[in-house]
Amino acid sequence: MKFHWLHFSSPATFYGLAGRMIPWFFALALVTGVVALYWGFFQTPDQLGGSNPQKEYYRIIFVHVGSAWMSMWLYLVLAAWSAFGLVFNTRLSYMMAVSVAPTGALFTALALFTGSFWGKPSWGTWWDWDPRLTSELILFFLYIGYIALHSAIDDARRADRASALIAIVGLVCVPIIFWSINCPDPNQCAALHQRSSMGSIDGNILFAMLALTFSFWMYAFATSFMRVRSIILEREAGTTWVNEQLELEAKR
């Protein structure tokens, strides 16, 4: 049978595919998450070196960095699915965008929370209105705005299109966050938040950080696929294939 990606753009086809993949994504998320946390707590240095060493609280970076990366990545995914929906008018694209948004908002909130937790002992304050923190907060509001707008419109088609436009316009926030973290000139972006230092980081710390990020990534796949399956059943309610699917699941 010849493979074609358009075959999986059908909600009925993708429903079954997503159902088969969810357990694998959850298993990968669990295994890599356990390995990452073990490595982060027991195989990394007791403190970061340098002129300003940090105590045990530095281990927050394993969660903070991964969640911050995922917050930006998932917004790119959200905007991409929204754009696909507007350009190609594919129902599944809109459904995927809606399913990704809550997980993206969760990781953005986690990044803000762990950042504040780190900021108090490291900088002496829970919050500072610098470009890096403020732009991440704006990203969180974009997620919430997208979810709220989509929920406020009763007609699914109109809600999809309106929220897709908001998602695409808000895309400008992602490069701003990336620039603020990787800005080479501190005078252009004065902030308490440290600049990116991936090149000089300890290998064990980097491994734990990347492993937990991978775990977050697999978790995002699993939760998004679970959510999109619910959305598909809701929007396709009353169709023959949904009735047959519900009868099949009821017999299991």
Q: Is residue 4 part of a domain?
A: no
Report if residue 252 sits inside a domain. Answer: no
Q: DSSP assignment of 20-49, as one string?
A: HHHHHHHHHHHHHHHHHHHHHHHSS-SS--
pLDDT single digits (tens) 37-52 = 998 888 776 655 444 4
In a domain, 13, yes or no: no
Residue 27 lies in a domain: yes
Least confident of 109-113, 139-143, 200-204, 212-216: 200-204
Check if the beta carbon of residue 130 is closer than 8 Å to that of residue 193: yes
Which pair of tokens denotes residue 52?
């300003």
Residue 234 domain-assigned? Answer: yes
**What is the extent of the structural domain holding 194?**
22-45+55-247
Q: How many domains does the chain contain in total?
A: 1
Residue 53 has pLDDT above 60, yes or no: no
Does any domain span residue 226?
A: yes
Q: CATH number of the domain at 194, please.
A: 1.20.120
Q: Is 153 helix (H, G, I), strand (E, B) or coil?
A: coil
Residue at 74 is within a domain: yes
Q: What is the pLDDT of residues 166-205, one digit of tens each?
A: 999 999 888 877 776 666 555 555 555 555 555 567 778 8
SS3 labels along 85-129: HHHHCCHHHHHHHHHHHHHHHHHHHHHHHHHHHHHHHHHCCCCCC
Average pLDDT value over all residues in the chain: 83
Residue 3 lies in a domain: no
pLDDT of residue 36: 94
pTM, 2 dp:
0.86
